[in-house]
Structure 1
């Protein structure tokens, strides 16, 4: 067999090689385990196809599936591997199926285990492969019948393969005792696959590298999906690994009164949270910064969890903000997401792709309420959001998040508290005055500099967004029902058209 130059055998699975620090160490035996349907066969085929693309000899030894089933599985991903992969379909020898050949002095399992091992070695010697997949160990475990015989059989396979240049991937469907760690102690590395079924929505899949001798790897759980073309893995984001140098300039929204409220604007590489009841204008304030970035010649990315894309285009265009044109000109990436079909890891990867590949310098996530729906729990949401915001900040991108609070006026609750994560927090409120429902805005936190501590009224009309003077003559605006305490109330004129837009 020819000497292989590379030390790692890449798996060919998007994202998995990053987690494994380059792939699988050559000339070693690895275990890929998971329940039926988790994606083992698909990953195994991608592993062999990657080897075939490098002109390596590849062997798939199947103890459970037929060759036709394997080829059909590959075709479902649009892959026809032809004769680039040698498939050895291991079937029981005819003598073991013939009743006349059965004898009672030895258990049939003793003969079957020996015959199975012999056939595996014969196929290996015939092909002399660089990459081998054995699917699956559950068949060998059943033939072994005891943990001791099973361990000895796995050790025999390991020692046999160690004399060659082959990189071996063993598959285990974990249909027997899931606490049996016999193979874990023998193999060089273990990758565990899981398939989860949420109460609503598509199944979620994740993997974890349990063991990898002599190699640092990316620990923890990593989301992955099975799509046409194969498995795609989304490595867990670690913001500390991603940092670029950039100038921390002050960015403006384009609305002078709003920028004054923010103390001149927001700093590049910071995050801003807009929080308030539904309909107060959180998205529209965020989109002002999106438009401002595009006017500066930068690109932006908008991720919508709640609003339908066509409705957003029509609504903002009526107010003088043509998002559709920005998208068509290649300056804006905007997409509508389905939280029921999206894992947190996949979403983080989409954001990273837009920042790294599309060079987006402004990112809007609307809203955290929808993003939370894709999370298994609030604690996970906080951790995912922390890493994502840190990553975006270190890339010099400005992030805008919206959170819709429960209620309209008075005491309101947020579904999750992320105010401590954001560098700037902007609060929007409805309030009643002079028999009319109005809107108010205030900045309650800004890490990167000074800001006004006033409360300003604003209105949204076909002319766009207008921010007024500070409401110095009122008290209790943020509670929703203010009292007039000044000599005059600097309220903005509110027309019938404005009320309809509210």
Structure 2
């Protein structure tokens, strides 16, 4: 049995001097949040979640006793309050929502110039109204929504830049942390504010050919501060925005004992040189119906028998069908789940981003302390990926992370075809520590199954091919097939004048 894993912990970074946004995951991406008393830009097309993040930014400040001010040039006060209510938030006394141009003024014939023209008078009035509201509320955090309206009032790039600089210097004197929102509807190519603000966060929304929209963000710049680069998936649900920081395996270091772990099937363990090692990854390859999931479940059952916890992430098979067919073999996965020894997650690739899936896996390993993880299958995982190259990178980081946490991982891949030349939708064999190959072959008018270990980094393994059967009580692995050649091609031939041992057992 593997020894308890001791995590090499590093001193927690000091984020006390920063203004945290209160967005799960985003503060991690920004190394603790925003440096105080600076100007920041949050940009993205309409519907990407800017308003939600801005409200979370103010609510986090209110939770810490800081007064906040939301200045809206595009949404009404009631619309903002409705957004807050949809997330079960209450805008307390520490947050002021100020609608710069009240709706009733748009109906007043004497006030029709409010936002419809770009005169000096209108821009000056808008700026004056902003300053007056700041003087009145004395906020520590300010949200200005949105810059598109300021850009239209300015009428030109030069005047727009001067106006943003004026706002920056004014707020710097006030000791205020300001978040500017830009919906990119006026001029998406105008990068004027990028050079003025202290940091820029860009929100994107992707629309796949099938399935729900995917959202991701990227920090374009952050002056004098370290941040987590690249794209990070995020989602909007009741309760606000949740960001799933890009997984970097090198950041997670653990110390553990690489014990050899058995499957409970003597012949299978013999094929693998005694078993697989803790903290290693095993790839199970084979065409549909060869029992890839069943082999992975065998290791899950062995882990639970050792007193460890396990987690299964099912992409392809309907969970009820899996539980029913394994129950018929005597495997009570539902009972193990109810006892808290096994977590089974049904994953819908059309609704889940790769970053969110990696977050689910991390929660099972970090919080539930799962030591055996099954991903069934990579075919379903690939469906969640926009490109095959991205899949390989995601799988690489995920496997490296799991290995460093001492978790033993099993992945399945359904190959194209049934017999003969097999094709994999994606080649990840070089990433796995152990590769198990499952095949159909024909013998004496019957379709049979064969298993072989083609790779094992962490020790010796048999170079034989064994026949196995899926019975009503589970897997039965037999002795090596020494009288055949061509088994992996699907049509073997006898190499000796000796019949294949034909019995009820392999």
Which TM-score band (shorter chain)? over 0.9
Please tell me whether residue 132 in structure 1 is matched to residue 132 in structure 2.
no
The 8 Å contact of residues 118 and 154 in structure 2, kept in 1 or not, is answered as: no
Q: Report the alpha carbon displacement of residue 108 of structure 1 after superposing the two structures with TM.
A: 5.3
What is the aligned counterpart of 2:230 among 202, 220, 225? 220
Q: Report the alpha carbon displacement of residue 459 of structure 1 after superposing the two structures with TM.
A: 0.5
Tell me the distance in 2 between the aligned counterparts of 1:430 and 1:102: 78
The 8 Å contact of residues 66 and 94 in structure 2, kept in 1 or not, is answered as: no
Deviation sequence 1:317-365 (CA, Å, 0-9, x none) = 1112111111011000101110000100000000000000000000000
Q: Report the alpha carbon displacement of residue 463 of structure 1 after superposing the two structures with TM.
A: 2.1
For these two proteins, the number of residue pairs brought into alignment is: 489
1:252 aligns with: 262
Larger deviation, residues 253-262 vs 77-86: 77-86
Please tell me whether residue 321 in structure 1 is matched to residue 318 in structure 2.
no
Tell me the distance in 2 between the aligned counterparts of 1:192 and 1:102: 34
2:432 aligns with: 422
1:312 aligns with: 322
Q: Report the alpha carbon displacement of residue 97 of structure 1 after superposing the two structures with TM.
A: 7.5
Paired residue secondary structure (1:450): coil
Tell me the distance in 1 between the aligned counterparts of 2:212 and 2:388: 20
Change (3 A) 1:372 1:227: same
Tell me the distance in 1 between the aligned counterparts of 2:161 and 2:306: 65
1:471 aligns with: 481
Change (3 A) 1:456 1:144: same
Change (3 A) 1:450 1:115: same
Please tell me whether residue 297 in structure 1 is matched to residue 320 in structure 2.
no
The 8 Å contact of residues 436 and 452 in structure 2, kept in 1 or not, is answered as: yes
The 8 Å contact of residues 471 and 489 in structure 1, kept in 2 or not, is answered as: no
1:116 aligns with: 126
Please tell me whether residue 409 in structure 1 is matched to residue 419 in structure 2.
yes
1:459 aligns with: 469
Q: Report the alpha carbon displacement of residue 268 of structure 1 after superposing the two structures with TM.
A: 0.9
Please tell me whether residue 281 in structure 1 is matched to residue 302 in structure 2.
no
Tell me the distance in 1 between the aligned counterparts of 2:361 and 2:111: 64
Q: Report the alpha carbon displacement of residue 6 of structure 1 after superposing the two structures with TM.
A: 3.4
Paired residue secondary structure (1:293): helix
Unaligned runs of 5+ in 2: 1-14
What is the aligned counterpart of 1:151 among 158, 161, 168? 161
Tell me the distance in 1 between the aligned counterparts of 2:217 and 2:165: 25
Paired residue secondary structure (1:364): strand
Change (3 A) 1:384 1:128: same
Q: Report the alpha carbon displacement of residue 55 of structure 1 after superposing the two structures with TM.
A: 1.1
Change (3 A) 1:100 1:444: closer
Q: TM-score, normalising length from structure 2?
A: 0.94
Tell me the distance in 1 between the aligned counterparts of 2:405 and 2:427: 24
Q: TM-score, normalising length from structure 1?
A: 0.95
Q: Report the alpha carbon displacement of residue 490 of structure 1 after superposing the two structures with TM.
A: 4.1
Change (3 A) 1:132 1:102: closer
Deviation sequence 1:29-51 (CA, Å, 0-9, x none) = 10000000000000000000001
Tell me the distance in 1 between the aligned counterparts of 2:486 and 2:110: 95
The 8 Å contact of residues 310 and 341 in structure 2, kept in 1 or not, is answered as: yes
What is the aligned counterpart of 1:358 among 355, 360, 368? 368
The 8 Å contact of residues 472 and 490 in structure 1, kept in 2 or not, is answered as: no
Paired residue secondary structure (1:416): coil
The 8 Å contact of residues 455 and 470 in structure 1, kept in 2 or not, is answered as: yes
The 8 Å contact of residues 76 and 103 in structure 2, kept in 1 or not, is answered as: no
Tell me the distance in 1 between the aligned counterparts of 2:88 and 2:466: 58
Larger deviation, residues 142-151 vs 91-100: 91-100
2:5 aligns with: none
Tell me the distance in 1 between the aligned counterparts of 2:229 and 2:481: 52
Deviation sequence 1:244-291 (CA, Å, 0-9, x none) = 100011000011100000001111110000000001011101111101
Tell me the distance in 1 between the aligned counterparts of 2:152 and 2:190: 13
Tell me the distance in 1 between the aligned counterparts of 2:68 and 2:227: 26
1:493 aligns with: 503
Tell me the distance in 2 between the aligned counterparts of 1:94 and 1:43: 28
Deviation sequence 1:137-161 (CA, Å, 0-9, x none) = 0000000010000000000000000
How is 1:326-345 mapped onto 2 (pairs within 5 angstroms)? 326-345=336-355
Change (3 A) 1:108 1:225: closer
Change (3 A) 1:109 1:452: same
Please tell me whether residue 188 in structure 1 is matched to residue 210 in structure 2.
no
Tell me the distance in 2 between the aligned counterparts of 1:238 and 1:82: 38
